[in-house]
Structure 1
Amino acid sequence: MSRVGKMPVAIPQGVDVSITADQISVKGALGTLVQPVNRLVTVKNEDGKLTFTPADDSAEANAMSGTMRALVANLVNGVSKGFEKKLTLVGVGFRAQAQGQKLNLQVGFSHPVVKEMPAGVKVETPSQTEIVIKGADRQVVGQVAAEVRAIRPPEPYKGKGIRYADEKVSLKETKKK
């Protein structure tokens, strides 16, 4: 059996989990998230802990039990604590400004780039060169951060662009004559 799938998911105080035949709904302080249940995995709520067991002995069911456990653990974490991604802007004149659900970026183009945030995702700019993307759904937060980074990814010679706060950009050496 999957090592990840064997570990139960503890449900913290203030988080409500309801399991139906086709989905798991997790409700907490930061919102409600829903995950469809795979038919190869059996989910049980036993005294404050969720357990995931494969429905049969196939390798696919074994793998899906670990996957379902990780996805539901992310849901529980998201509605209780939330997730965030930090991005930094590197470059002369590169600026970011959050205005409600919109992110205005000036990153070296002839026009400002406006990125609309989806529902459930908040964006903050503590300084002009820092962007913090927050939300309850880990997958959506990561996807939005990747889309913002893709507007101007770091270039390999000077390192200018939008990068994750913990990202290391290896710079290339310029050509010699």
Structure 2
Amino acid sequence: MLFLAEYEKRKDMFRNPKIKKKKLWEEIRREMLKQGYKVDGTTLDRKLRNMKGTYKGIIDNNKKRSTGRGHISWEYYNRFNEIFTEDKTINIDCTVSSFQTQSDDDVRSPGLGAAQDFEQDSRSNTPTGPQKKRLDVFRKRQLELEEEKLEEVKKIRVSLEEYNKIQREKLELFKKYLNL
């Protein structure tokens, strides 16, 4: 808990690219040393990364309703939740729902926006409505990009063949010149 408290004090500084993280870990290490904990900055960094992974794993597991696993608890969960609730690398703003929650007036809840358009038929995993249209547009654009990429690769191949031809001609000329 001391470790997490010291990290939280410096959380904003960790996000600042101008501040060396090694310096911040050293500050935390010194504070922990005062309390009798013998650790180094590298270990603290790795510990936080591992704890973030555990926290994210618990969030992901607890969101799923059909994993076959029960709800996972962790002694540091509430503390991590306080520190990392707004961390975009851990928390995902919205999730896709497999059941309809709209009222008859199709009123959207604040903060959900277009995410509510991504509803699916609760009997299958096939997209419906606006989601299907977006997927079709996405797939069409993806195919166009692949075709463009293929054309560029063909152009590069032709250019390389032309370059190689020129190099062979140059080599032949050098051979003739040297054999005179």
TM-based fold match above 0.5: no
With the length of structure 2 as denominator, give the TM-score of the two structures. 0.21
Which protein is bigger by CA-based radius of gyration? 2
Q: Which has a greater percent of helix?
A: 2
- Larger strand fraction of residues: 1
Structure with the bigger RCO (C-alpha within 8 Å, sep 6+) is 1
